[in-house]
Amino acid sequence: MNKNELVAAVADSAKLSKGDAQSAVDAVFSTITAELKSGGDIRLVGFGNFTVSKREASTGRNPQTGAEVQIPARNVPKFSAGKGLKDAVN
């Protein structure tokens, strides 16, 4: 499912126009992004948790030349599924 299909499904499920559903989906994504960017986390009981994890700097290798490459430290978003979502999938 891509974003357009998600908007259409939200519009049908919530009986909204596609424009309103598009605004709602965009608002949810931008709110999650802003909260993670500020270092916070999002906890949706029964669905899952969005968090930010810090990845330390490391040394990798270029597979073509074998030369060492420095990989800088960075923050990465993570999602862990909640019990309700796990149960629904299984």
Local confidence band at 83 (pLDDT 50, 70, 90 cut-offs):
very high
Q: Which of 33, 26, 34 is nearest to 6 (CA)?
A: 26
Q: Give the whole-number percent of the chain exceeding pLDDT 90.
A: 98
Contacts of 19 (CB under 8 A, 6+ apart): none
Local confidence band at 36 (pLDDT 50, 70, 90 cut-offs):
very high
CB atoms within 10 A of CB 14: 10
The pLDDT of 59-65, averaged and rounded, is 93
* Architecture category of domain 41-90 in CATH: Irregular (4.10)
Burial of 70 (0-12, 13-18, 19+ CB in 10 A): exposed
In the predicted model, what is the mean pLDDT of the chain?
A: 95
Enter the pTM of the model. 0.80
Q: Tell me, what's the pLDDT at 85? A: 95
